[in-house]
Amino acid sequence: MISITVNGKAQKLDVEEDMPLLWALRDELKLMGTKYGCGIAQCGACTVHVDGQPVRACVTPVGSVQGKKVLTIEGLSKPGLHKVQKAWIEHAVPQCGYCQTGMMMAAAALLQKTPQPTDAQIDDAMTNLCRCGTYARVKKAIKSVAAGGKSAPAKA
């Protein structure tokens, strides 16, 4: 039995310790916001926070997070929308949207650690891949949050 806290709720999972955290979240806890992308920690669609640090859930064994706090996109947005989610909407970041939960989790971790990130810090932290190429909008949304929501939204 593996004990973890997910989105503030204590969970006991009867799974193998080497099961990827991604599958424990999706298959066992039915939290579908964390997405499977590549399975090799390259794309970032599966990004979650473990004790406040962004990790790629597809390659993180659930046993390695025993006793730790896991935050998924579902927990990030309680109650209501998180400031990063609001900025994503305001700046029309998503196109297909598949990678966006991982992007938002990476951005939230960056802003938690560095509330006023430079362009270089954003580039270093945002290693998630987006097939739609919305990287400029991602950067603008992050800067908007850092500025307290005071940057111009995307034009429709």
Domains and CATH numbers, the chain: 2-76 (3.10.20.30), 83-146 (1.10.150.120)
pLDDT in tens, 29-44: 999 999 999 999 999 9
The predicted structure's pLDDT at residue 71: 98
Token pair, residue 34, equals 């964390």
The dihedral through the CA atoms of 22, 95, 103, 74 has a sign that is: negative
pLDDT of residue 150 exceeding 80, the answer is no
The predicted structure's pLDDT at residue 155: 58
The predicted structure's pLDDT at residue 97: 86
- Lowest mean pLDDT of 2-11, 58-67, 83-92, 144-153, name the range: 144-153
Tell me the C-alpha distance between 156 and 45, whole Å: 26
* Amino acid making up residue 20: P
Closest among 52, 37, 62 to 127, alpha carbons compared: 37
pLDDT of residue 156 exceeding 60, the answer is no
pLDDT in tens, 97-147: 889 999 999 999 999 999 999 999 999 999 999 989 999 999 999 999 999
What phi and psi, each to the nearest 5 degrees, are found at residue 120? -65, -40
Mean pLDDT of the chain: 94
Average pLDDT score over residue span 72-92: 93
Average pLDDT score over residue span 49-55: 97
Cis peptide before 153 (omega within 30 of 0): no
Q: What percent of the chain has pLDDT over 70?
A: 96
